[in-house]
Structure 1
Amino acid sequence: MRMFLHIKHWQVFTLTFVVPALLFLVEISLASHSYSHYSNSLQAVNENLGVKLLTLLLHTACYAMVTVWYWVVGCNLHAISPKKTRPSISRFKLCIMLSLAVAIAADAAPLLGLHNVKGYAAFITLVTGIYAYIYCTLFIQKLVRAIESNDTPEEDDKAIFFILWLIFPLGIWFIQPRINSIFKRQKCA
């Protein structure tokens, strides 16, 4: 899994965005051809259990790719970060698993007949997933800045770096080269 630390930005983009997009197109295409008696392909996806299971499996695989990238980068950056600025890794691991669980639960809810869940349960689940994702983003951002500056992160470009993480598929074009350079320096040292 350490390969994620050395692959290029376009490879990460392909694994975490292009492959899932292609899988989604294949999924819709198969549904529309297999179930042409439905009025549209999305209706076929919604009314067929096999297609729903396939959809859940493909989406879970896509979520897992992104989660594995976050996990590998976060854990390895934590291992080489300065000890005086190193945050707790246990909360990061919990939040990354929580964000994956919320994403899978959101996809599985219609399959389980929970698509009409409203009120506090849906709101709390959504807020929990967003919090977990933002925490993971801030955790890795703090580690990258601490390693690059050999101290606590400076305030100059924190907001820009955070926004790049939040718009993950586009931000990866700027973030992965920084991660590559960090681990290249570590390998040489």
Structure 2
Amino acid sequence: MDFYFKLKHWQVFFIQIIGLVLLYVSFSDPFLTKIVHSVSFVLIHLWIIIIGLETNNYVSEAEEKSNAFFLLNIVLVIGLYIFLIMSGINNITVTGWYALIGFYFIFAFLQIYIFGANSLNRLYRTAGRKEEESSISLFFMLLFWPIGIWIIQPKINKVIQRVELIEREED
């Protein structure tokens, strides 16, 4: 996954767009269509998943955070989405205590992007960047990825190059 983290912004954008286009592809076999839609959901969210998982490899030990909760939420959100696609459920109505489960899935989806924004801030701090972006702006750039990729990915590439240069100098 490290290679994906180092891609240029236009390459990441192209992969994300492929995922988006696949959402609108339909085949005569409904099962194949459901599989393609599930793969497209994973492709669309692959960038944020990679950011959340790979930043710990580049930050200092003092900045490292556990990503167990992040992984749990990724599995739950992707699992729920794939379940909804495969089961063909289009309309969900939940009441009472079951509504809490729905609220948790909304929280889990948002937490994935919040964790990604915080991970990017940790990465920026490790590289010694002077201008630190707010986690809120990073959150919205990650959430609205067609714009965010063009802004964030070049910065990630510069930071990774700087961190790798610092590590080589220390060795």
Query: What TM-score, normalized to structure 2?
Result: 0.78
| Aligned ranges 1:11-50 → 2 under 5 Å | 11-16=11-16, 18-27=17-26, 50=29
CA RMSD of aligned residues (A): 2.6
Gaps of 5+ in 2: 167-171
Where does 1:27-106 land on structure 2 (aligned, <5 Å)? 27=26, 50-51=29-30, 53-106=31-84
Distance 1:103 1:77, change over 3 A: same
1:84 partner SS? coil
Could you say which structure has the higher helix fraction? 1
Task: State yes or no: 1:182 paired with 2:159.
Answer: yes
Deviation at 1:73, TM superposition (A): 2.4
Deviations along 1:13-64, whole A, 9 cap, x unmatched?
A: 1111x2134334442xx55xxxxxxxxxxxxxxxxxx22x122111111122
User: Which of the pair has more CA radius of gyration?
Assistant: 1
Q: Percent of counterpart pairs with the same letter?
A: 23
- Unaligned 5+ segments in structure 1 are 32-49
Tell me the matched-pair count. 162
The amino acid across from 2:118 in the alignment is K
Query: Aligned equivalents of 1:26 and 1:115: distance in 2?
Result: 18
Give the distance between the partners of 1:78 and 1:158, measured in 2 at CA: 17
Q: Secondary structure at 1:119's aligned position in 2?
A: coil
Superposed counterparts of 1:159-170, under 5 Å: 159-170=136-147
